[in-house]
Amino acid sequence: MSKVKITKGTKYVVGVDAIESILTSLKEQNYKTIGPTIRDEVIIYDELDNISELPIGITDVHESGSYRLIERADKALFGYNVGPFSFKKYLFPPRLTILKTKRVDGKISIIRKDEHLDKLAFFGVKPCELQAILIQDKIFIDGEYVDNYYKKQRDALFIVTTNCTEAGSSCFCTSTDSGPEAKSGFDLAITEMIIDNDHSFLIEAGSKSGLKVLKELDIKKASADLINIEIQKLDSAKNNMGRKLNTTNLKDLLLENLNHPHWEDIAKRCTSCGNCTMVCPTCFCSNIEDVTSLDGVENERVRSWDSCFSMEYSYIHGGAVRASIKSRYRQWMTHKLASWQEQFDTLGCVGCGRCIVWCQVGIDITKETQTIQKQVTAQAEQLAEVEN
Amino acid sequence: MTLLSNNKQIETQITTSAFIPEMFVINRIRKETEDTFTIELAVEDGTTSFDFKPGQFNMLYVHGCGEVPISISGSPDRPDKLVHTIRMVGDVTRAIRRLKVGDMLGVRGPYGSYWPIDKSEGKDIVIVAGGIGLAPVRPIVYHILNNREKYKRISILYGTRTPSDIIYQKELESLRGRFDVDLYVTVDRADQKWMGNVGVVTTLIKNSNFDPTNTTAFLCGPEIMMRYTAVALQQQELAPENIFVSLERNMKCGVGLCGHCQYTGKIICKDGPVFNYDLVKDLINKREI
């Protein structure tokens, strides 16, 4: 137990062993702890028993359509950016039975039964991932109709954020205002500090539950020098983003250019595989299917992730509304960057770069946007010249 | 984010209440045309009434098959019976057709926006429908006829592919006999017995007598039909703000959670299906939105 007076929003310093203690403390509070670990040569999120399962001394190298793990020079616990999975699957599961019914003698009734869900703690949530959760809150909790599963998991959720001191080559969270430092929405926020041979962590609590965990640790207040170094590290991440997205006036620009010829150009490369929607931490579209027992008595309505890149997605009588790949890519990108703003008053993109990395043909949302922006600006300038 | 308790598990019903259908019993099934039919539903115990506004829709659920969004086509002044007219176009609509009187059907709703008929009192009303598009505007007709003195001239313009595709035949015939409603019907392709108009529904607009400075128009049918009808009405000096359309997209949930019915920034199941034409006129002219 620490003798320092511990308050919310103050930065403290701890050693590597404290990270293990946080994990243990969360387990003692009966949380199922989910965090990064290596599987099949990628960093994924899964249940963590101890910190030796973290991707220690490993980082990920990204490019359009490429992802590789390499060894770091140090033993950083959180020295990577983002893998193919986000935490989305825990709050909005890829498959979930949302209703059970049965039909006996022609009478159909709803089967109501309480389910038992694990209380979750997310460990090592990058700021862009945290922003994605806050965006999904708006969809599943803040609207007129609330998704019960999401809300129950979310209410009990404990979030340990890890700020990014290194930006990846497909990252652009400064453009989407979602990193490299988490501003709110976490229970604990950690910045990993490796200075020469000294390995420590700056830590702050963002909630009462976070404070409770913090109080159990052996901590001391961070020195002004150390906080300055943290600022420098975060600034360096800010200045080294591999990608950039100019979001000024982006909503109007895209929605006013739904017939821009560049959509055709993207469609020539896009295979409409839907990878971008599967790796995106904010994509929330779902399908609902009936799964019936062989005797036809019991039935489950199963909700599963869906993708606006499939033909079935827009199917109405007579055929798919979005039959061309052009219209499906346009739907996805304009939704992320433009219409999402009308629907939920926020961008639908957090700048994690997953859609760039996991696109099998390397389509880059930031570059495609830039192309449209440049062409529209050039056209407007030409027009202005003619008018003058 | 707050710690609820130290219990390991959250005990809860997973089902979102919005996803639980209410079970209705089919009281009547009437064949309209070869591929359309009308069903009348009532709550099992007959105690509850179903209130809705003209233009709203329900998600209809067939056990073990699936759900479809269908506009309500009965009278808003008869909450004791719920009426839907359905065209058989997919698995679920065909499964509904196979049900019999006394069978159960799940209902969620009513959902979505509605035709602004209250705000249209004291005005001329023009209703233009194409094919099965007559079903979602039928509640307007019921409401107006029940409150006839509140509205001025009423024109109903209806177009179908062939004479045998005309739904609500008897009701249309009785409307034809009224002096306080102008009904015009046209078909794309006539048969030998057809004595009426031939051509697309926009050709009927010249017949309809309305004051463009004091009229509301309600349009429902295929998107291309509504597009050309809106253009034709504007040629008659009707302002786009006075035109309303009902749009349709794939829907899985009906409550704005599944994403399927997006129409750029609009989510048709909650912002629509009824839209002021002025707000969607730029989109309706674009393909594959």
Instruction: Please list every residue in chain A whose beta carbon sits closer than 8 Å to the beta carbon of residue B246.
Output: none
pLDDT reported for residue A318: 81
CA-based nearest residue to B18, from A172, A313, A288: A288
Separation CA A263–CA B58 (nearest Å): 36
pLDDT above 70 as % of chain B? 96
Separation CA A290–CA B268 (nearest Å): 23
Interchain CB contact of B70 with A (< 8 Å):
no
Q: How would residue B43 be classed by pLDDT, with cut points 50, 70 and 90?
A: confident
Which among A317, A322, A326, A339 is the top mutation candidate for probing chain B, defined by the most B β-carbons within 10 Å of its own β-carbon? Answer: A317
pLDDT at B2 over 50: no
Residues B131-169: tens digit of each pLDDT: 999 999 999 999 999 999 999 999 999 999 999 999 999
Instruction: Inspect the interface and report whether the beta carbons of B20 and A110 lie closer than 8 Å.
Output: yes
Using DSSP's 3-state secondary structure scheme, residue B175 falls into: helix
Using DSSP's 3-state secondary structure scheme, residue B201 falls into: helix
CA-based nearest residue to B250, from B234, B265, B262, B236: B262
Residues B189-239: tens digit of each pLDDT: 999 999 999 999 999 999 899 999 999 999 999 999 999 999 999 999 999
Instruction: Please list every residue in chain B whose beta carbon sits closer than 8 Å to the beta carbon of residue A152.
Output: 10, 12
Each residue of A30-46: b (16+ CB within 10 Å) or e?
A: ebbbbbbbbeeeebebe
Q: What is the DSSP letter of B191?
A: -
pLDDT reported for residue B134: 98
Instruction: Please list every residue in chain A whose beta carbon sits closer than 8 Å to the beta carbon of residue B9.
Output: 116-119
Instruction: Please list every residue in chain B whose beta carbon sits closer than 8 Å to the beta carbon of residue A112.
Output: 13, 15
Q: What is the arithmetic mean of pLDDT over A315-337?
A: 96
Q: What is the arithmetic mean of pLDDT over A308-328?
A: 95
Interchain CB contact of B86 with A (< 8 Å):
no
Separation CA B147–CA A129 (nearest Å): 56
Q: Which two tokens stand for residue B98?
A: 């196979």
The total of other beta-carbon atoms located within 10 Å of residue A108's CB is 20
Q: Which residues contact A256 (CB under 8 A, 6 or more apart)?
A: none
Beta bridge partner(s), residue A302: A97, A289
pLDDT reported for residue B114: 98
pLDDT at A2 over 60: no
pLDDT above 90 as % of chain B? 88
Locate tokens 């130290």: which residue?
B6
Among A residues 206-265, those touching chain B with beta carbons less than 8 Å apart: 207-209, 212, 255, 258-259
Residues A229-268: tens digit of each pLDDT: 999 999 999 999 999 999 999 999 999 999 999 999 999 9
Locate tokens 């839209």: which residue?
B275
Separation CA B97–CA B38 (nearest Å): 9
pLDDT at A57 over 90: yes
Separation CA B274–CA A7 (nearest Å): 52
Q: Is the overall model pTM greater than 0.90, yes or no?
A: yes
Residues A277-301: tens digit of each pLDDT: 999 999 999 999 999 999 999 999 9
Let me know: does B246 contact B219? Beta carbons within 8 Å.
Answer: yes
A-to-B residue pairs, Cβ atoms closer than 8 angstroms: 184
pLDDT at B4 over 70: no
